[in-house]
Amino acid sequence: MTTKVRITKILRLILHLNLNVNVMKRMKILVPALFLGAGVLFMTGCGTDDLDAPVVTLNGDNPQIIDLGDAYTEAGAIATDNEDGDISASIVTDATGVNTAMVGKYTVTYTVVDEAGNTGTAERDVWVRATADDYVGFFTVTENCIGSIDPYEINIVKINATTVRVSNLGDFDAGETLFDMELSGDLNDVVTINDSDDNDATLFCTASGSLVDGMSGAMHFNVSYTFDDGTDSFTCSDVDIEQN
């Protein structure tokens, strides 16, 4: 091998080594850059997590008012989510606590969960109220106080939606009394009398109380009443009045 040929091979070897060195340097730069890019993508993906709960909107009235004994009709609700859109079909409604056979205030719950696991809820108040018709009938009056008399019977008839007329309240020997009793409160569960006797204008009755149990055909309320004829008066602060 001549000297010229040997020098040429040496130069080619040096050039090849330089190229390999440059490739290695580029790899050292490229690999960290790839990892950095993957990290940015990962962090960006985490930043788009759905953390907002869906919104549940009630249809119909709130509170929903039902007369004692009437059926409860579900008014429904709609649910919207910022990612999933309309998810009303996924709403779970719990109205198991509503008892239309008993005067009271109840709650219906609406729950929905979006694809990300966020939960949205809403509640509706359902009021089951008594009507004047529920107070109609014969009742037994029991006075629980000093000077009380034996249990006696009264009769109640309807005058209008919020007024009933009570006969024989007080069970006076002089004859049957007639007083108007007013119904009020969210559930018509508050009763008051401020009236003179229709048969004896000198006899005045004041009474106030509320329902203890409100069931159709089995109404029970408790009052405090006072009778005053201008000369004498009698008060009993614990009077149970139960439908027969």
Q: What pLDDT, on a 0 to 100 scale, did the predictor assign at position 173?
A: 76
Same structural domain, 8 and 43: yes
C-alpha–C-alpha distance, residues 162 and 156, integer Å: 13
Same structural domain, 231 and 136: yes
The model carries a pTM of: 0.78
Same structural domain, 69 and 160: no
Task: Work out how many domains the chain is built from and give that number.
Answer: 3
Q: What pLDDT, on a 0 to 100 scale, did the predictor assign at position 163?
A: 98
Same structural domain, 4 and 23: yes
Q: Is the dihedral of CA 113, 114, 120, 125 positive or negative?
A: negative
State the residue range of the domain holding 26. Answer: 1-48
Listing DSSP states for 19-80 in one string gives: HHHHHHHHHHHHHHHHHHHHHHHHHHHHTT---PPPEEEE-S-SSEEEETTPPP----EEEE
Residues 213-224 have pLDDT tens digits of 999 999 999 999
Residues 139-177 have pLDDT tens digits of 999 999 999 999 999 999 999 999 999 999 999 876 799
| Average pLDDT over every residue of 91-102 | 98
Q: What pLDDT, on a 0 to 100 scale, did the predictor assign at position 12?
A: 56
Extract the tokens encoding 34. Answer: 């790839």
Domain final residue, candidates 79, 104, 129: 129
Same structural domain, 148 and 236: yes
CATH number at residue 71: 2.60.40.10
C-alpha–C-alpha distance, residues 36 and 43, integer Å: 11
CATH number at residue 231: 2.40.128.420
Same structural domain, 203 and 120: no
Same structural domain, 140 and 232: yes
Same structural domain, 145 and 176: yes
CA distances from 236 to 142, 164, 170, 205 (A): 10, 21, 10, 12
Same structural domain, 113 and 195: no
With 50 as the cut, is the pLDDT of residue 34 above it?
no
Q: What is the DSSP letter of 224?
A: E
Residues 97-119 have pLDDT tens digits of 999 999 999 999 999 999 999 99
Same structural domain, 66 and 142: no
- % of the chain surpassing 70 pLDDT: 80
Q: What pLDDT, on a 0 to 100 scale, did the predictor assign at position 175?
A: 74
Residues 117-136 have pLDDT tens digits of 999 999 999 999 999 999 99
